[in-house]
Amino acid sequence: MVRLTSFPEGKWLHETPISRIYAGFPFPIYALQGHAFSLEHGKLANVLIHALAHRQTEAVWSREIPPSISKSFAHAFQSRVVGLTEAGEMIDKIPTPHERERLAQAFGEVLEEFIPEMSDPGPFVDYVLDHGVGLFELSALLRDPELNEIMVNGNNTHVFVEHQKMGMCQTNIFIEENDPQSARMILKAARFSGRNFSEQEPLLDARLPDGNRLNATFETITPQGHSMTIRKFRYDTLSLVDLVMNRTLSEEMAAYLWLMVEGFGSNPMNIIVSGGSGSGKTTLMNALGACIPYRERIISIEDTLELQFPLRENWVQMESKPAIVRQSTHERLGMDELLKNSLRMRPDRVIVGEVRGMEAQTLFAAMDTGHQGSMGTLHANSPSETLLRLSSEPMNVPKTLLPLLNIIIVTQKIHFPGEGTKRRIAQIAEISHLEREPLLSNVFERKPEADTVLRTDTPSHCVQVLADATGKPRKVIQQELVVRQRILEWMLRQGIHAYAEVEKILQQYGVNPVGVLERVQGQAMR
């Protein structure tokens, strides 16, 4: 079974509503707080969990409730809570956030009606639903907004988490030998996503109902037991200004990226965001999405949905599917097939969530036929490695097509002692060509000693491309970068950083730059 172990006594380093983090070696200890229910309420919780998880009839489970709890409560719980789970098939698969909310509301109303002495039913409701229809103790971890990832390594081990401030932590959640609950958690996720998980199909990559991404392995290929890795989905999409505030990029770099993604109304750049796993590639891509003009239609293709453009209506998300999901054939509906289809959907922008196979050739073919402003992410640690990976197996993009890519952005995940893990843009390189051979020029580079990114002395090739495309002198494009930097600095001073607010100003500037500048200058003079 899954159980909570003891944790260190004494002063903690960090506290959240559900946990405390203590010093430890080699990892800090993330201690999930247990619930302090009375003996009677603790027994009731276990009875209700069994009623939900094992589909017990009311006649069976109601015999086990404490004598002080009325039989009317049992009937109300069966009809109003268990009935909801059966109608939505929530026992076999994980409930959606909406279904979970309905369950919690119905359960809370039953408790208030029949057990009014329970002054704060919230923790009781969470505990029963977590264990009855959810992912047990992992459900509580999923509610912690400060966690990035959750890792189950197998049996007889503790669960690990990556905390935004404290980095990798060992939790006090312990998975015991031959624990059936870990298999149940994975099977519930597999059923929700319409995929199989078995000895014959031992790998699972799926999206959970709340948008979190799950990867699991069957015990036949991880002999220590089933493994799980959950990458949490961010609901609070970060804006360009947020990324400046947390020093992922500078104001000058943000202005540059704003202009290059938008294209000055004429020539948006083709961009690849590269970096290691968890280095902030998708976070940056989400922020850059706010720079795409509203008039343009976006088609995004992903293996697992992670991109977020919350204010967009003219946007189609496409998600690849494994063979098991395709009922008509045994072929996988992959990224390349989706990308080819997207080009028939009148896209203004094509965004590929992760480029790693044959779809790279299709993406560059789209660039070659006039689909400007295409973007994608890729696992590589430098601009040169990005080009090497694109031109090698299994992508095999012809080297003569590589100069169609204008910009490579490299992101990094860096651990700062005492501060935790942070994301930084390490460099931005532009691609030009000489006799059809790609040439790389760094226009921004990170200086680790000062933890800052600076503009290099290299003239920007992309600025010249915009000048040529718009028919404007180069100095006009350079002045435009200065103006956009001042707008971003004004937003910082005014405390304007929420994604929706920032996107609105970026879009307004695209159609009414004079109006936005009057607002900036007017408030700057106050």
Nearest to 83 by CA among 99, 60, 70, 63: 99
> Can you tell me the distance from the alpha carbon of 272 to that of 270, in angstroms, rounded to the nearest whole number?
7
> Can you tell me the distance from the alpha carbon of 86 to that of 70, in angstroms, rounded to the nearest whole number?
23
> Can you tell me the distance from the alpha carbon of 216 to that of 236, in angstroms, rounded to the nearest whole number?
26
> Can you tell me the distance from the alpha carbon of 291 to that of 302, in angstroms, rounded to the nearest whole number?
20
Residue 420 β-bridge partners: 416
Q: Is the dihedral of CA 476, 480, 486, 489 positive or negative?
A: negative
Q: For 121, how many CA atoms within 13 A lie in the half-sphere containing its CB?
A: 18
Class of the CATH-defined domain 240-524: alpha beta
Class of the CATH-defined domain 2-34+138-231: alpha beta
> Can you tell me the distance from the alpha carbon of 317 to that of 376, in angstroms, rounded to the nearest whole number?
14
Residue 434: what pLDDT? 78
Give me the residue label for tokens 């999930």: 32
Low-confidence ranges of the chain (pLDDT < 50): 323-324, 326, 328-330
E strand spans, 66-218:
147-152, 157-163, 167-175, 203-207, 213-217
276 three-state secondary structure: coil
- The domains of the chain are located at 2-34+138-231, 39-134, 240-524
End-to-end alpha carbon distance in the chain? 63
Question: Can you say whether residue 280 is alpha, beta or left, with left for phi > 0 and alpha for psi between -120 and 50 degrees?
Answer: left
Sheet containing strand 437-447, strands side by side: 315-319, 298-302, 349-352, 375-379, 271-275, 407-416, 420-434, 437-447, 452-455
Q: For 4-44, how does the pLDDT look when each residue is reduced to its tens digit (9 = 90+)?
A: 887 777 788 998 888 999 998 899 999 998 788 889 999 99
For β-strands 157-163 and 213-217, DSSP reports them as: unpaired
Residue 331: what pLDDT? 57
> Can you tell me the distance from the alpha carbon of 278 to that of 276, in angstroms, rounded to the nearest whole number?
6
> Can you tell me the distance from the alpha carbon of 209 to that of 252, in angstroms, rounded to the nearest whole number?
38
Residue 324: what pLDDT? 47
Residue 79: what pLDDT? 94
> Can you tell me the distance from the alpha carbon of 506 to that of 491, in angstroms, rounded to the nearest whole number?
11
Residue 322: what pLDDT? 63
